[in-house]
């Protein structure tokens, strides 16, 4: 179904800038596998969350003051005096958490179904770049309310760069704009926190572009072979995503309206005080696995390198995983390793939130070791030696198989 | 559908696990637990308790602690009339000006003013409190692990130090304070204030009342938030149900 506009205005525009044709192509002509499960909803949910964060963020910035003496009070001004300011702020703060929940599920979906494998390596890379940008944005955003955790979190994380040999100290001073986390730091963090989301938008566009070039992966991990395998995105996946969005929004609103502070830390309601260090400096929950990896090594430089390495190795995943089969559905051993890896990440999250004392230090080290063993050793080996289950001939065959077996089960 | 349920439980699991991590800095002694009227889906602030709590705050806490985020006008949320709020504000004096001659002057408080700090600055506060700095109480309930229960436990947690406990001179023993040594002496004793509504002013009662008042001070929009939340979620349930029905219909036409 190629795009031949009847409406003269649409025709006039489209011969000069084929933007309507592009949308038409994305919605009607872009073939989508017919068997995408709800795990494929999290990509569009992440897009929705990005928009929510940008819109609420722009409103908040109209009332926020980026100055060490006024930032904390200006946030309270938003909470108390600005009409629906509490709604905007809680939406933004909980929205960040929801954004990460959705993106983590999106990433693990990719890991399970082998979505990073050829020809989707660049798609995977762009996703990881978005993830890195999100982490930088979220970290700087958390500094803005200028509470105790804001200040001390910023101090701990920026100090990590001090581990770089020779130039480390100079880099930290340069990052701070002074000799400690202070007003210049807060100002530049605000500036960058406003800038980076739009950089994310740019990379998201590239991510979708790459997606539309290779097409979506699907639960079988085999490519679309003929028309039987695919359906147009609209209306099938628009309506499926809308239902997913509805369910997601209910959960989001549950946090937003009934437990808006449960994902935060009480110490951040204490104004920043450079003279008083909190008993435990804990980052936001979505950084905890990386925090656990950072603390697993007694050496500062080693910890920092391991933490960044934890993300860097993900870039190499398309080449580390030697298996020619994508989906874990047909990979009996990888499937089990996937779940163990997921549990390992949850353990790291848990340990990251605990004080650095036994038994958490030991558990953290073992979990960190396993993280790298899984990616660097097990994944390549399993790919070489694993015997995969027989693959269906096509997507439509796998869908038909499922239907018949369900009917047989119904008859029995 | 089964997969959806799986994915939801994964999301919930993830948040529960990380939550237990995030609250790792809670510690030690188990707090006393009170069934506060303003918790739960429909909870609203106990107005009478909050009004009594304001009295406790004004007559006891305010001599050392500020409440600088709270404007008098917002006290109307607790059931005070506009005139009552003006009368409360009038009890305080503020520096006004400069006037046309460039002079500063003293004026009585107005509804738009916020509770004034008891000390001119942190040094003055420390000088009057044996070196300790009494924190501002505007957000105290949200700023402590355990929230309302922590504050209530702290207020009622003063005891004589155990014989083997090495208590520093000038400090006080409190079961619930981290490290058990707190600079603030037990702030209230029975009948420290006289309630006009006839409620008996026990330490327990006053502690509960001032906790309700400070919970409101920390989260004044709680009722508006829950009220909106219920309607939003009800709306979303209907909308999501419709999406589900439409999805079923559209996908059923697919061969």
A321-334, pLDDT tens digit by residue? 999 999 999 999 99
Which of A257, A338, A354, A355 is the best residue to mutate to test the B interface, defined by the most B CB atoms within 10 Å of its own CB?
A257
**CA pair distance A363, A378, nearest whole angstrom:** 20
DSSP-based three-state secondary structure for B243: helix
A253: pLDDT strictly greater than 60:
yes
**CA pair distance B64, B135, nearest whole angstrom:** 9
Could B228 and A231 be called an inter-chain contact, meaning their C-beta atoms sit closer than 8 Å?
A: no
B6-33, pLDDT tens digit by residue? 555 555 555 554 554 444 434 468 999 9
In a domain, B60, yes or no: no
**CA pair distance A23, A159, nearest whole angstrom:** 46
Least confident window among A44-48, A141-145, A385-389: A385-389
A353 interfaces chain B, CB cutoff of 8 Å = yes
In a domain, B237, yes or no: yes
**CA pair distance B100, B103, nearest whole angstrom:** 7
Instruction: Give A39→chain B minimum CA distance, Å.
Output: 7
Could B21 and A350 be called an inter-chain contact, meaning their C-beta atoms sit closer than 8 Å?
A: yes
pTM of the model as a whole: 0.93
**CA pair distance B107, A135, nearest whole angstrom:** 50
Question: What domain range includes position B255?
Answer: 221-255
Could A236 and B4 be called an inter-chain contact, meaning their C-beta atoms sit closer than 8 Å?
A: no
A55: pLDDT strictly greater than 60:
yes
Question: What was the ipTM of the complex prediction?
Answer: 0.91
* Cα Rg, chain B, nearest whole Å: 24
Interface of A with B in 12-41 (CB under 8 A): 34, 37-39
In a domain, B244, yes or no: yes
In a domain, B234, yes or no: yes
A110-135, pLDDT tens digit by residue? 999 999 999 999 999 999 999 999 99
Helix (H) or strand (E) holding B108: strand B105-108
Q: Averaged over A260-278, what is the pLDDT? A: 96
* Partners of residue B251 in chain A, C-beta under 8 Å: 236, 239-240
Residue A32: strand pairing partners: A231
**Nearest CB to A239; choose among B144, B233, B246:** B246
In a domain, B247, yes or no: yes
A312-323, pLDDT tens digit by residue? 999 999 999 999
**Residue entry with tokens 């494929």:** A40
A360: pLDDT strictly greater than 50:
yes
**CA pair distance A23, A232, nearest whole angstrom:** 12
In a domain, B238, yes or no: yes
Q: What is the pLDDT of residue B21?
A: 45
| Contacts for A15 with CB less than 8 Å, ≥ 6 apart | none
Q: What is the pLDDT of residue A410?
A: 60
Q: How many domains does chain B have?
A: 1
**CA pair distance A316, A327, nearest whole angstrom:** 18
- C-beta atoms surrounding A265 within 10 Å: 27
**Residue entry with tokens 């036994």:** A358
* Partners of residue A240 in chain B, C-beta under 8 Å: 247, 251
pLDDT band (50, 70, 90) for residue A76: very high
Q: Are A13 and A214 in contact (CB under 8 A)?
A: no
B31-43, pLDDT tens digit by residue? 999 999 999 999 9
Helix (H) or strand (E) holding B94: strand B93-96
pLDDT band (50, 70, 90) for residue A26: confident
CA angle A23, A28, A34 (to 5 degrees): 130
B1: pLDDT strictly greater than 60:
no
Confirm whether A387 is a catalytic residue. Answer: no
Instruction: Give A38→chain B minimum CA distance, Å.
Output: 6
In a domain, B19, yes or no: no
**Residue entry with tokens 């809308």:** A242
In a domain, B158, yes or no: no
Helices A233-258 + A42-61 axis angle, to 10: 50
């Amino acid at each position: 179904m190629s795009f031949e506009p009847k409406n003269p205005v649409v025709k006039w525009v489209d011969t000069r800038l084929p933007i309507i044709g592009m949308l038409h192509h994305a919605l009607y002509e872009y073939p989508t596998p017919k068997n995408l499960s709800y795990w494929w909803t999290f990509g569009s949910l992440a897009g929705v969350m990005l928009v929510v964060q940008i819109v609420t963020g722009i409103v908040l910035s109209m009332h926020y003051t980026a100055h060490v003496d006024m930032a904390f009070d200006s946030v309270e001004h938003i909470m108390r005096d600005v009409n629906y300011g509490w709604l905007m702020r809680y939406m933004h703060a909980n929205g960040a958490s929801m954004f990460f929940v959705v993106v983590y599920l999106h990433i693990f979906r990719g890991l399970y179904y082998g979505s990073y494998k050829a020809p989707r390596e660049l798609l995977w890379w762009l996703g990881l770049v978005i993830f890195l940008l999100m982490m930088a944005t979220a970290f700087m955003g958390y500094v803005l309310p200028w509470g105790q955790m804001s200040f001390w979190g910023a101090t701990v994380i920026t100090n990590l760069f001090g581990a770089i040999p020779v130039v480390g100290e100079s880099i930290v001073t340069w990052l701070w704009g002074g000799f400690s986390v202070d007003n210049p730091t807060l100002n530049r963090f605000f500036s960058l926190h406003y800038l980076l989301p739009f950089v994310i938008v740019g990379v998201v566009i590239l991510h979708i572009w790459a997606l539309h070039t290779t097409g979506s992966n699907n639960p079988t991990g085999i490519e679309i072979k003929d028309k039987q395998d695919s359906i147009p995105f609209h209306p099938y996946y628009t309506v499926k995503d809308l239902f997913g969005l509805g369910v997601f929004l209910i959960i989001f609103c549950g946090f937003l309206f009934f437990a808006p502070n449960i994902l935060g830390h009480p110490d951040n309601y204490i104004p920043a005080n450079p003279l008083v260090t909190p008993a435990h400096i804990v980052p936001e929950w979505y950084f905890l696995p990386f925090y656990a990896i950072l603390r697993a090594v007694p050496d500062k430089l080693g910890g920092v390198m391991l933490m960044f390495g934890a993300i860097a190795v993900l870039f190499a995943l398309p080449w580390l995983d030697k298996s020619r089969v994508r989906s874990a559905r047909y990979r009996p051993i990888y499937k089990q390793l996937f779940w163990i890896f997921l549990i390992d990440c949850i353990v790291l999250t848990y340990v990251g939130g605990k004080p650095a004392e036994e038994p958490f230090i030991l558990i953290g080290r073992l979990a960190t070791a396993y993280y790298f063993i899984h990616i660097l050793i097990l994944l390549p080996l399993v790919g070489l030696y694993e015997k995969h289950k027989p693959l269906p001939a096509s997507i439509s065959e796998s869908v038909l198989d499922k239907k018949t077996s369900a009917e047989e089960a119904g008859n029995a | 559908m089964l997969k959806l349920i799986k994915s939801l439980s994964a999301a919930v699991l993830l948040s529960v696990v990380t939550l237990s991590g995030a609250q790792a800095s809670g510690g030690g002694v188990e707090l006393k637990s009170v069934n506060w009227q303003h918790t739960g889906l429909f909870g609203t602030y106990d107005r009478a308790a909050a009004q009594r709590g304001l009295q406790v705050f004004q007559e006891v806490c305010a001599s050392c602690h500020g409440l600088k985020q709270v404007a008098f006008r917002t006290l109307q949320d607790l059931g005070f009339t506009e005139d009552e709020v003006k009368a409360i504000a009038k009890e305080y004096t503020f520096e006004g000006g400069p006037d046309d001659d460039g002079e500063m002057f003293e004026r009585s408080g107005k509804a738009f003013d916020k509770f004034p700090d008891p000390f001119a600055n942190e040094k003055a506060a420390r000088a009057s409190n044996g070196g300790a700095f009494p924190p501002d109480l505007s957000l105290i309930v949200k700023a402590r692990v355990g929230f309302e229960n922590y504050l209530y436990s702290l207020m009622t947690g003063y005891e004589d130090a155990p014989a083997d406990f090495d208590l520093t001179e000038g400090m006080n023993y409190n079961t619930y304070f981290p490290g058990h040594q707190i600079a603030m002496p037990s702030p209230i004793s029975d009948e420290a204030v006289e309630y006009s509504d006839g409620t008996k002013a026990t330490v327990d009662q006053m502690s509960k009342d001032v906790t309700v008042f400070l919970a409101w001070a920390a989260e004044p929009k709680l009722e508006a938030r829950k009220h909106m939340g219920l309607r939003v979620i009800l709306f979303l349930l209907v909308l999501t149900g419709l999406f589900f029905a439409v999805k079923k219909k559209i996908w059923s036409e697919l061969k």
